[in-house]
Amino acid sequence: MPDSAPAPTVPRRLDHAPRVVVTRHLMPTVESRLGELFDAQCNSADKAMSREELIAAMRDCDVLVPTVTDRIDADMLAQAGDRLGLIANFGAGTDHIDLKAAAARRIMVTNTPGVFTEDTADLTMAGIIGVPRRVREGVELIRSGQWTGWTPTALLGRKLAGKVLGIVGMGRIGQAVAHRARAFGLEIAYHNRKRLPEAVERMFGARYVGTLDGLVSEADILTLHCPASDSTRGMIDARRIGLMREGASLINTARGDLVDQEALIAALESGHLAGAGLDVYPDEPNVDARLIRHPNVMTLPHIGSATREGREESGHRVIANIRMWADGHRPPDQVLTGLA
């Protein structure tokens, strides 16, 4: 192994209750258990910590428990105290953490994979169904008091059965979406870094498309389920949006950075795309007013994982990872990316 490559972090048993800083307000049962087991500092006000506050926390704790709203880069990690040994992320995604920089400092990173799979897939289906059927427009019509009654030609949407659902990223969530969508008669096509085994494809009735351009050009509904990385940021750009079918829909419950927002808005306003279902945005919590105004854009406040059950389970997975690490064992959810 080259000298510049960090060796895998070896946990060491702590001789004291670890000092744990939690960056956001978690479920009460989770925070109560954290307080019982560790020297825990929770964020009951649930105000996002500033960059300076995060650095100060990392200088004075053994374990940091961040969420997707906390950007932790190499410069911040360089200022962490020597005692910081674990970043126990609340959630599966880790693209907000510089994993290579953490590994270089011998700071272990864990996450909570698989916990929010079903929840996120459920919310994705709300967009897959709601956008083609113009649900937002119907709700607004009722609320505005402008509905005059049923007519044969009002609010005509698109039938789901027989349409092509293009899934970008066929991991846990993508597969959970495919499982649900098949029940609605959608034809499942997908693009992934690696093709799934034939047996898995048969299980979902899924067809592999070798290029992203190919998938984009044939999908009636395109749904995104991949992390934000150097290779995926802006992947749905103006050129690819131009390849999409006239009247197609875009669903994004993954990461806002995957989509060129200006190109998306232009396609919506021109009518090239019929609508979009969005739960994530490139500059959260700021949402472009043009998306909010568009009659057939479902704008949701990043609630893909927002179920009581999921948030409870994720919190207890965080606790399990901390306990294993503090006892000198490798946590079950150690993130290995960045170690090689």
In the chain, which ranges are continuous DSSP H helix?
28-37, 51-59, 74-78, 99-104, 117-130, 135-144, 172-182, 198-204, 212-218, 238-243, 261-270, 289-293, 308-326
Coil/strand/helix, residue 110: strand
If one looks up domain 19-115+307-326 in CATH, what number appears?
A: 3.40.50.720
Contacts (Cβ under 8 Å, ≥6 apart) of 304: 116, 119, 120, 123, 124, 253, 279, 280
Whole-angstrom Cα distance, residue 89 to residue 315?
10
Q: What does the pLDDT read at residue 86?
A: 98
Q: What does the pLDDT read at residue 70?
A: 97
Whole-angstrom Cα distance, residue 240 to residue 236?
6
Fold adopted by 117-299? Rossmann fold (3.40.50)
Residues that are catalytic: 255, 284, 302
Count, residues in the chain: 340
Domains of the chain by residue range: 19-115+307-326, 117-299
Q: What does the pLDDT read at residue 330?
A: 95
Per-residue pLDDT of the chain (340 residues; tens, 9 = 90+): 444 445 555 677 888 999 999 999 999 999 999 999 999 999 999 999 999 999 999 999 999 999 999 999 999 999 999 999 999 999 999 999 999 999 999 999 999 999 999 999 999 999 999 999 999 999 999 999 999 999 999 999 999 999 999 999 999 999 999 999 999 999 999 999 999 999 999 999 999 999 999 999 999 999 999 999 999 999 999 999 999 999 999 999 999 999 999 999 999 999 999 999 999 999 999 999 999 999 999 999 999 999 999 999 999 999 999 999 999 999 999 999 765 5
Q: Which helix (H) or strand (E) holds 224?
A: strand 221-224
Q: What does the pLDDT read at residue 12?
A: 73
| Fold: same for 19-115+307-326 and 117-299 | yes
Whole-angstrom Cα distance, residue 61 to residue 81?
8
Q: What does the pLDDT read at residue 2?
A: 45
